[in-house]
Structure 1
Amino acid sequence: MSYGSNDGGHGTGVAQVEGDPFADPGLPHHTPRRTDIDARAANRAERQVAALFGLSTILTIAFIVCFVAIDKEESMYVVGLGTVNTLNFALGVTLGGSLLCIGFAAIHWARKLMNAEEIVDYRHPMKSSPEDTAEVLEKFRAGVEDSAIPRRKLIWTSMLGAMALFPIAPVIALRDLGPLPHKKLRGTLWDDPNHRQIVHANDERRLKPSDFALGSMISAKPNDLEGHDELAKASILLVKLNPSEIRSKELADRGYRGILAYSKICPHAGCPLGLYEKNTHHMLCPCHQSTFDLADFGRVVFGPSARNLPNLAITVDDEGYLVAKGGFEEPVGPSFWERGDA
């Protein structure tokens, strides 16, 4: 039993047994489309494609208008969907419709106006020869010509308008991410003189040095936080060390009688700290085990953190309550874009 080959390169590629009475019929004869032989039909198809591109442009503009004009809290009833958010529904319809019109226009353009000749292309080695490369370039140039772009100015112009305007929609949507942080990442509420009083994190009572025993630790925060959403960055830990165990006079002067204040936020990934080893004065992060020496300016002694734990300078006011002298000297928390060495 043996197998025959394709007939002159025009068969379907199906192997045939010798003597098989069912011959390979090959490709059917090419039948021209109406737009190939009727100029009026071709012009009508061109207008249809341009109309779809134009409708895409209108829907993109409608997306932008809806994004700006519709209230985010507004809702509406849609048959089959029930009550939905009006803004989400409008954005979905306009943006989806814009994409759909571009797709329909491209398909209609290809089916009605581009070259419709059937071509058989056999497999070839993966590495192209110079002749094949030249042939591909020639086919590309022929494809540009077959697409009718040079001759169909209306399609070309309307397509450019739709494709150029469409990217504006997702750019406008970036506005919904919220305002830029600007300098907010570099400061905390401790920078504000109205928020320098140190209060207990749980009951918000003001703290005095007498509230601390040697080796104790208390979570604290600034006073008057009602209406503020920056508690996480401003949270601190107060620990009392033996003044003789503090490694430098500079650090001792930033505390009060052995009481030191540090940010509660790990500089590595922003996890809250709280695992304090009294004997070693080490603060351990529960997430990735970064360890900081509180007796030595919060120096990193182990783990992935690239920066020391920020220290907050404190003192007491005229009534004997603990207060912050000012804000942190460096940004608290994990790294952010353009932080640099600050």
Structure 2
Amino acid sequence: MEHDDSKGAVKAYEPSSGLAVSIDDPIQNPGLPPHRARLTDVDVKAEKRAERTIYTLFYISVAASIWAVAAYMLFPIEDMEFVSIRQNNLFIGLGIALALLAIGIGAIHWSKTLMSDKEYVEERHTTRGSEDTREAVVEAFRTADQESGFGRRKMIRNSLFAALVASIIPGVTLFRGLAPHNPDYSPAELLKQTMWEEGEYLTRDPSGTRIKASDVTLGSAFHVIPEKLAALSHSDGLLEEKAKAMVLMVRMRPELLTEREERKDWSYDGIVAYSKVCTHVGCPVALYEQHTHHLLCPCHQSQFDVTDEAKVIFGPASRPLPQLPIAVDDEGYLIAQSDFKEPVGPSFWEMH
């Protein structure tokens, strides 16, 4: 086959004559393949059976969503028991997974067995917002409704609506776990108090070893907890108290610090201590860049300037890290002057 550029025609050699012949339309439209009717298209019993299967799957989804909510109540995660936590995650997860899986399988089975499967060609045209276009869109929805049977197959439609509504309920239920268990305290109130108090020793995390100011060299960073926190066990609320009281302490040259007048005695010879709980969503801020004096939250990349009262310089955090006022005792050990002056943790509790 060859192309004649002078005439723009395509030529092919005829095997019998050895001559080149012109082909006006070298690519023929093969058309649509012959339509094969499905079993549900020709057998009423098969159609009814498919319909029953679909709405049964949707109702299974409803039951699974209800089970997820029941599992949340039957296996309370608030007990802080390992077995209860494991069962809570397992059974709630299975319920939600089955609910969503049943919706997906039911929708696919519906489209494969009952919705129209005839092939058609849709010509492209200029998109315009005319009245004819709007009427065509309405007609398209009407046709889709007729072909899918969405309007007339009430059992399938209603069961789908029920499954979709029920699938949201487990997620809503899980938000209950974010609320305080003691109705007398709000989350904001609980975060206003930590284990820090006047005279409490700053100790290394997790050993509980007291820290002397002379041990903190320039550029170093210490992960710090209150001394009495080291004596707690998990059953005494160790994790909850540590989550509120954990501190990162660093030392730099005193002349680098920018401090307000009322905060000048909150540091000691260039040593400053700030809450490790990010004010965005509460992740631990544990990455210290010595050359820039920046603290970085690894979760969402919020950055805080240690030289300027841990103010936010990048990222989604909305307020500085709370500072712990510190001092030294007669033996040179670092101690807290008081608790934090503001609530620690995320700002979405609207605590300030």
- Relative to the length of structure 1, the TM-score reads 0.59
Q: Deviations over 1:307-336 (max 9, x none)?
A: 48735166979x999764532223457x63
Unaligned 5+ runs, structure 1: 6-13, 17-23, 76-84, 277-282
The answer as to whether partners of 1:311 and 1:328 remain within 8 angstroms in 2 is: yes
Residue 25 of structure 1 and its aligned partner are, at CA, apart by 6.6
- 2:52 corresponds to which of 47, 56, 63: 47
Residue 26 of structure 1 and its aligned partner are, at CA, apart by 4.6
Residue 165 of structure 1 and its aligned partner are, at CA, apart by 0.5
Q: 1:163 maps to what in 2?
A: 164
SS at 1:263 equivalent: strand
Are 1:326 and 2:338 matched, yes or no?
A: yes
The answer as to whether partners of 2:322 and 2:343 remain within 8 angstroms in 1 is: no
Q: 2:195 maps to what in 1?
A: 189
Structure 2 counterpart of 1:284, which letter? Answer: H
Q: Deviations over 1:117-171 (max 9, x none)?
A: x242244135346334432320211222333333222222222211110122334
The answer as to whether partners of 1:262 and 1:309 remain within 8 angstroms in 2 is: no
Q: 2:9 maps to what in 1?
A: none
Between Structure 1 and Structure 2, how many residues are aligned? 291
Larger Rg: 1
Between 246-255 and 196-205, the greater mean CA deviation after superposition:
246-255
Are 1:312 and 2:312 matched, yes or no?
A: no
Describe the shift of the 1:45–1:188 C-alpha distance in structure 2 as closer, same or farther (beyond 3 A).
same
Are 1:284 and 2:293 matched, yes or no?
A: yes
The answer as to whether partners of 1:235 and 1:265 remain within 8 angstroms in 2 is: yes
The answer as to whether partners of 2:305 and 2:313 remain within 8 angstroms in 1 is: yes
> Could you say which structure has the higher helix fraction?
2
- Relative to the length of structure 2, the TM-score reads 0.58
Between 163-172 and 92-101, the greater mean CA deviation after superposition:
92-101
Q: 2:144 maps to what in 1?
A: 143
- RMSD value over aligned CA atoms? 5.2
Q: Distance in 1 between matches of 2:348 and 2:260?
A: 32
Q: Distance in 2 between matches of 1:262 and 1:129?
A: 64
Unaligned 5+ runs, structure 2: 1-21, 233-237, 297-302
Q: 2:273 maps to what in 1?
A: 263
Please list, as runs of the form range in 1=range in 2, the aligned pairs for 1:51-90 lying within 5 A after superposition. Answer: 51-70=56-75, 73-74=82-83, 90=91
The answer as to whether partners of 2:61 and 2:99 remain within 8 angstroms in 1 is: yes
Structure 1 counterpart of 2:53, which letter? Answer: Q
Identity of aligned residues (%): 23
Describe the shift of the 1:265–1:337 C-alpha distance in structure 2 as closer, same or farther (beyond 3 A).
same
Are 1:224 and 2:233 matched, yes or no?
A: no
Residue 176 of structure 1 and its aligned partner are, at CA, apart by 6.8
The answer as to whether partners of 2:324 and 2:336 remain within 8 angstroms in 1 is: no
Structure 2 counterpart of 1:136, which letter? Answer: V
Q: 1:10 maps to what in 2?
A: none
Q: 2:96 maps to what in 1?
A: 95
Describe the shift of the 1:231–1:275 C-alpha distance in structure 2 as closer, same or farther (beyond 3 A).
farther
Residue 46 of structure 1 and its aligned partner are, at CA, apart by 2.5
Q: 2:109 maps to what in 1?
A: 108
